Amino acid sequence: MKSISANCRAALAALFLTTAGQAGAQAPAPDYSAYPCLSYTLDCGKLATRKPQVKMLEGTLNGNAEKGKQLAQARNNGNCLACHVMKGGSQPGTRGPDLSHYGSAGRSDAETYTAIHDMRTRNPDTLMPPFGTNGILSDPEIRDIVAFLQASK
Ligand code: HEC
């Protein structure tokens, strides 16, 4: 009996090492230390949330709608589909308004840009991530996404 449980432990240890080894072979874990969290114990819990930031669109939009669509719908990027219905997207979430005809709403490029950069400037309690302020999307990426939304009629 004793030797079986010892074997079991050895098997479990081998399994753990294999799994750990596999995890180690994958891409290194991203560094989230600059992002605030809700922890009482981790350092990220002591970081202040970035203040809402009004950013105006400079010059003409110059966005690429096709690129914007890819960026907006990629799960590892804008992932707007987590909350919004969008043209050409599948399995959307429902927390935000339907954006599939956004381009028919008559909104300007400038207000759309500012909203995606940081929706908290419109609604301080919004669920929508401050994509620009938090560095999730760059200025050219937001321009592409605005072009995509404006082309969604
Ligand atoms: C976690 C959910 C969530 C995600 C992810 C999200 N949004 Fe939103 N979005 C919202 C909510 C909720 C609103 C409604 C505004 C509010 O919060 O008052 C909104 C509003 C908007 C509006 C304004 C719509 C209008 O008619 O005025 C735009 C434009 C928009 N989102 C674009 C985007 C884009 C582009 C992305 C991806 C880069 C995105 N959102 C990702 C939740 C989200």
Residues 95 and 122 in one domain: yes
Dihedral pair phi/psi, residue 23, rounded to 5°: -60, -40
Q: Are 153 and 104 in contact (CB under 8 A)?
A: yes
- Mean per-residue pLDDT, 21-34: 72
Domain assignment of residue 142, yes or no? yes
- The residue nearest atom 29 of ligand 1, judged by CA position, is 112
Number of domain units in the chain: 2
Dihedral pair phi/psi, residue 24, rounded to 5°: -65, -30
Residues 84 and 124 in one domain: yes
Residues 130 and 78 in one domain: yes
Q: Tell me if 142 CB under 6 Å of ligand 1.
A: no
Residues 101 and 73 in one domain: yes
- The residue nearest atom 11 of ligand 1, judged by CA position, is 96
Ligand 1 centre and the CA of 97: distance in Å?
7
Residues 71 and 11 in one domain: no
Residue % of the chain over a pLDDT of 90: 67
Q: Give residue-wise pLDDT tens across range 49-59.
A: 899 999 999 99
Residues 69 and 36 in one domain: no
Global pTM value: 0.81
- The residue nearest atom 1 of ligand 1, judged by CA position, is 128
Ligand 1 centre and the CA of 124: distance in Å?
13
Domain assignment of residue 85, yes or no? yes
- The residue nearest atom 15 of ligand 1, judged by CA position, is 126
Instruction: Report whether pLDDT(151) > 60.
Output: yes
- The residue nearest atom 7 of ligand 1, judged by CA position, is 128
Residues 31 and 82 in one domain: no
Instruction: Report whether pLDDT(22) > 60.
Output: no
A 10 A CB-CB count for 87 gives 17
Mutate to test the pocket of ligand 1, among 81, 83, 98 (most ligand atoms within 8 A of CB): 83
Q: Which domain holds residue 146?
A: 65-151
Q: Tell me if 97 CB under 6 Å of ligand 1.
A: yes
Residues 146 and 74 in one domain: yes
Give me the CATH number covering residue 111.
1.10.760.10
Cα 147 from Cα 102, distance rounded (Å): 11
Domain assignment of residue 26, yes or no? yes
Domain assignment of residue 56, yes or no? no
